[in-house]
Structure 1
Amino acid sequence: MPGRFRSLLAVLIMGLGLLQPSGAQAAPKTATAAVAAMQPGWNLGNTFDATGADETSWGNPRVTRELLAGVRDQGFRSIRIPVTWSQHLGAAPDFTIDPAALARLQEVVGWALDEGLYVMINVHHDSWQWINTMPVAHDAVLAEYTAIWTQVAAAFRDASPRLILESVNEPQFAAGGDDAALLAELTTAFHRIVRDSGGRNATRLLVLPTLHTSADQVYLDQLAGTVTALHDPFLIATVHYYGYWPFSVNIAGGYRFDATAQQEMLGTFQRVRDTFVARGIPVIIGEYGLLGFDRSTGTIEQGEKLKFFELFGQQARVNQVTTMLWDNGQHLDRSALTWRDPALYDQIRSSWRTRSGTAESDLLFTARSAPIADKTITLNLNGTGFTGLYQGRTALRRGSDYTRSGDQLTLRSGLLKRLLKDRSYGVKSTLSLRFDRGVPWRLHVLSYDTPTVSDSTGTTTGFTVPTAFNGDRLATMTATYADGSYAGPQNWTAYKEYDRTFAPDYTAGTIALTADFFAEVTDAAPVTLTFIFWSGATVTYQVTRAGSTVTGTA
């Protein structure tokens, strides 16, 4: 049948009520069932929440229906569309939303619904732009907030029940008020406005955040009290999760996903489960990721990063929490619809269904200046079964190439000699550790020697340490004065923040020290830097600031 006749027939059938478009699909009847159906979710970050003139002002392309279909095809079932309203509002007292901006949002929401996705929209950066002034401008803030939600509720009154409304992103308030009471007041106003607007809003799912969207118990308890007081079965609690802070930004020696970072994650999920899920209140982690991603996804070493996301996915599954990946454009290339870090996406996607085996590291170093000997690494089986070690598609031989005893995997010296070849620096081979489920673990076999650094001069805005990395990789850096006190920003720790205060450039052969670092270094006081590498090697270096001039010595 020709395409135009098929289309006409479909329109006729829908008009008779015999067929519904995908956007008209009914949502599950309970909040818990709907939230389960939303897993997994994805954020359209830095787009409608951008504070510039339009959705492209923060560097992302204009949203297309093809992008939304691509997000669905990547396995996501829901999409969060953060919206900052302040730049689209008219003057008080009406605070009329720019019709063009509202129509554009409705268009994109409609596309997403038609693609079968659940959609969440909110009030986003307004939280820190003006809502936070509520302690000193109570009536003005409440009036503006009320005006926004009154208009938004009316605009989406009859939208699919798969559209979900979130009251405010990361609520926060300036000093001087009762934060818990202020948030409860906003939440109650939001609930009343939406419910009183009628239509499908009478039972639309509403998402309510904790203060700061924090999972600290005090904030969870405050929100639980508000939810109980509202006595509404169509409410959802939300928090955000960016991990144990030192690990999330690589500071204070937190460059490994160690027991402390793991326990912080486990505690978060347990508190959320006990406070809400166990009481029949569904939970969405509306944003998750690592804070260091805002500068570079390389701020956290690849293997440590993958272990974080593997455990996060498992915890979400066992605690029945829906998660929405924060993506401001650094993960999914929105034009090519490809992942900038395919291994990260593979790990995240696998974690939606099952666990994966990992290992203590994805880096196996052998010093070029030392004889090649057996190397043993510890496996994290995570309940999986180890099935073999591979080089590409070739299965390596158990016994002659490697041995395994429990969680100890030993690569034999004969195998390493083959892999290391001419002993030149860098990654010589990448092996695949396979398990009976989940994604394989990549193990990079490297040849290295202890890095060397050279004298240098520069300025506080442009200083680099000439570095021969010799196949090694930088993990972290400490900075101390002669008396042992800590130098540079965050002087409560010797370990400085990766990318904010220092950053390696392996191609250029340098380690840059940033203006932020020198801004908090005492003039004429020598600072001893210790560069700590993933091989375990350490190298010291001294820098002295004299005004805007910096001198570095090895």
Structure 2
Amino acid sequence: MQPGWNLGNTLDAVETEGSWNNPPVVASTFDDIKAAGFKGVRLPVTWAYHFTSGSPSWDVDAKWLQRVEDVVDMVTQRGFYSIVNVHHDSWVWMDISQSSANITQIEEKFYRLWYQIGTKLACKGSKVAFEPINEIPGSTAEHGLEVNKLNDIFLQAISDAGGFNAKRVVTLVGVGEDSVKTSQWFKRPDAKFKNPWAIQYHYYSPYDFIFGAWGKSTWGSAADKASLDLDLSLIRNNFTDVPLIIGEWSGSATHTETAARWRYVDYFMRAAQKYNTSVVLWDNGADSLNRATHQWRDTVLMDIISNAARGISNALPESTTDGAATKQESSAYVYHKANTSITATTLPFQFNGNTLVSASLASSRTPLTKGKDYTTSGETVTFSAPFLTSVLQPIGARTGSIANVTLKFSAGANLLVNILQYNTPTLGATSSKLSAATPATDLLIPITWAGQNRPAAVKATKADGGYLLDDWTQWLPVLQQGRITYGGQWDWDGSNVVLKAAVVDAVKAAGMDTVFRVEFYPREEGNWVEYTLRV
């Protein structure tokens, strides 16, 4: 499976395939995955809305079983290893942590579901593995014991289904597929089952960086690396003789800073290999592969994953890692502010034993001349003022991504340096007044972008100087204090910055005007706009 890819938000969508942000899967998607160097595919499947009868038979719709088998065949016909699971059922009807949970019925239904899946896929060969349940909720030792019991029920069900299932590889789980809870409470399956088995867990850490929480846009300090290494080592040290697979992990281009993302992914891949752990990238259809256009949103990231999986060293860009910093720099970009003089720009890199072979304009593949367009010194690359002038001067004050320079190294991934001209974006309005009587909805603030077309962070400060949400962030580094969280609290689209309904409600509850400072890349003094929500 190393490296593997998840067909996310598709067969696992609620209530059925196509309900979320992706159309029904087509076979050509797996051609794209194979071309990118992936070796395995995890197929998350939600079954909850496809039962045609209740207790005791819990029959699953034959058409849905056939659809899952058809997709499994798309995968295996291309030589992939695969993992088929039971996905969002974990919270739809299998939440064992609820005080009202009918454990007896859950166990009955779970057995019947896996008996039917096992029967349908009984004759699939050794490249098809099963995973009993995705991220089942729980927080106590009692929950851990129940998950262990469910692992055995799952094994019994597929064994009873016959075919190849008694020999099939399975990836057993702990509570939440969380490494810490798994280490605490996971017990080995009953010895009567002879299936080769691994433990699957998921890794989305550090939470604030991976999910864009509280303004965290840096990664790569010695402490960051030590924390990741420790996380992976602890579970490995608890299960020294058991295969481990991280069935979900991510470093999404939608909300992580580019240079930090590339370094995180490279380090994660190598740490996983250090601890003999396979990894399966989570891709919800918006993070990595644009399935409609067959294009990867971050080609460098895919190149880094492919090379790291093969043990090949990647050169990597530097970026700010100091938590006390008041601005953030990145060697994935040449940032030039519109209407300012054009000067030479020096960017530091980590060559990691490689040498820079060439530089060229990515769009035309026009080679740059060393000594004229760029120079190197140690592990820095300097783009000359004349070269940058030739790129930037013809566009005048226009902002946005102007060109990409491909840096080719003696080994590993080619890196892209984006030459980007920016200014401070403008909002269509700078304030509005809340209606106390109207139920809160998402607030769309029109914006005219002027550079990298996404915010870096949003800071929310009440009229009394306090922070609207998560007041404890006052103890975080300067670039995180008072910032709210991407996705659940703020978002953006092509034309708007979006304050989520929950944030509007928070302003109502606070009962005072709140200023939202929308910050952009590069994160530097003054590169932001402010919007006031009045009560």
The TM-score by the shorter chain falls in which range?
Answer: 0.7 to 0.9
Q: Which residue of 1 aligns with 2:65?
A: 102
Would you say the 8 A contact 1:357–1:384 is kept in 2? yes
Q: Which amino acid aligns with 2:315?
A: G
Question: What is the aligned counterpart of 1:286 among 247, 265, 281?
Answer: 247
Q: Which residue of 2 aligns with 1:518?
A: 504
* CA distances 1:5-30 after superposition (whole Å, capped 9, x unpaired): xxxxxxxxxxxxxxxxxxxxxxxxxx
Q: Which residue of 2 aligns with 1:349?
A: 306
Give the CA deviation at 1:92.
Answer: 0.4
1:484 maps to 2:465: yes
Q: Which residue of 2 aligns with 1:141?
A: 106
Would you say the 8 A contact 2:170–2:195 is kept in 1? no
**C-alpha distance 387-319 of structure 1, shift in aligned 2 (>3 A):** farther
Would you say the 8 A contact 1:238–1:284 is kept in 2? yes
Question: What is the aligned counterpart of 2:257 among 281, 301, 308?
Answer: 301
1:271 maps to 2:234: yes
Q: Which amino acid aligns with 2:218?
A: R
Distance 1:253 1:456 in 2: 21
Q: Which residue of 1 aligns with 2:420?
A: 446
Give the CA deviation at 1:208.
Answer: 0.7
Q: Which residue of 1 aligns with 2:390?
A: 418
Would you say the 8 A contact 1:478–1:531 is kept in 2? yes
The DSSP-based 3-state class of the residue aligned with 2:342 is: coil
1:386 maps to 2:353: no
Distance 2:28 2:498 in 1: 40
Deviates more, 1:205-214 or 1:440-449: 440-449
Give the CA deviation at 1:341.
Answer: 4.4
Distance 1:511 1:328 in 2: 22
Q: Which amino acid aligns with 1:543?
A: T
Q: Max radius of gyration: which structure? A: 1
**C-alpha distance 399-495 of structure 1, shift in aligned 2 (>3 A):** same
Q: Which amino acid aligns with 2:116?
A: Q
What residue ranges of structure 1 are gaps of 5+ in the alignment? Answer: 1-37, 547-554
Alignment of 1:364-375 (within 5 A): 364-375=334-345
1:160 maps to 2:112: no
**C-alpha distance 72-395 of structure 1, shift in aligned 2 (>3 A):** closer
Would you say the 8 A contact 1:241–1:288 is kept in 2? yes
Alignment of 1:37-116 (within 5 A): 38-52=1-15, 54-89=16-51, 90-116=53-79
Percent sequence identity over matched residues?
A: 26
Would you say the 8 A contact 1:449–1:472 is kept in 2? no
Would you say the 8 A contact 2:83–2:128 is kept in 1? yes
Deviates more, 1:391-400 or 1:182-191: 391-400
**C-alpha distance 72-401 of structure 1, shift in aligned 2 (>3 A):** closer
Alignment of 1:495-506 (within 5 A): 495-503=483-491
Give the CA deviation at 1:256.
Answer: 2.2
Q: Which amino acid aligns with 2:392?
A: L
Would you say the 8 A contact 2:84–2:131 is kept in 1? yes
Count of matched residue positions in the alignment of Structure 1 and Structure 2? 495
Deviates more, 1:343-352 or 1:512-521: 343-352
Q: Which residue of 1 aligns with 2:285?
A: 329
Q: Which residue of 2 aligns with 1:185?
A: 149
Q: Which amino acid aligns with 1:525?
A: M
The DSSP-based 3-state class of the residue aligned with 1:252 is: helix
**C-alpha distance 377-112 of structure 1, shift in aligned 2 (>3 A):** closer
Would you say the 8 A contact 1:48–1:82 is kept in 2? yes
Q: Which residue of 2 aligns with 1:376?
A: 346
1:431 maps to 2:405: yes
Distance 1:77 1:501 in 2: 36
Consecutive aligned runs of 4 or more in structure 1 exceeding 6 Å deviation:
228-231
Would you say the 8 A contact 2:444–2:497 is kept in 1? yes
Give the CA deviation at 1:261.
Answer: 4.6
Alignment of 1:199-214 (within 5 A): 199-214=163-178
Q: Which amino acid aligns with 2:284?
A: N
**C-alpha distance 131-388 of structure 1, shift in aligned 2 (>3 A):** same
Give the CA deviation at 1:394.
Answer: 4.1
Would you say the 8 A contact 1:243–1:264 is kept in 2? no
The DSSP-based 3-state class of the residue aligned with 1:484 is: coil
Q: Which amino acid aligns with 1:365?
A: Y
Give the CA deviation at 1:167.
Answer: 1.2
Q: Which residue of 1 aligns with 2:215?
A: 253
TM-score normalized by the length of structure 2: 0.81
TM-score normalized by the length of structure 1: 0.79
Deviates more, 1:259-268 or 1:319-328: 259-268
Q: Which residue of 2 aligns with 1:150?
A: 115
Distance 1:130 1:401 in 2: 61
Give the CA deviation at 1:232.
Answer: 5.2
The DSSP-based 3-state class of the residue aligned with 1:93 is: coil
**C-alpha distance 63-433 of structure 1, shift in aligned 2 (>3 A):** closer
Give the CA deviation at 1:266.
Answer: 2.8
Give the CA deviation at 1:540.
Answer: 5.8
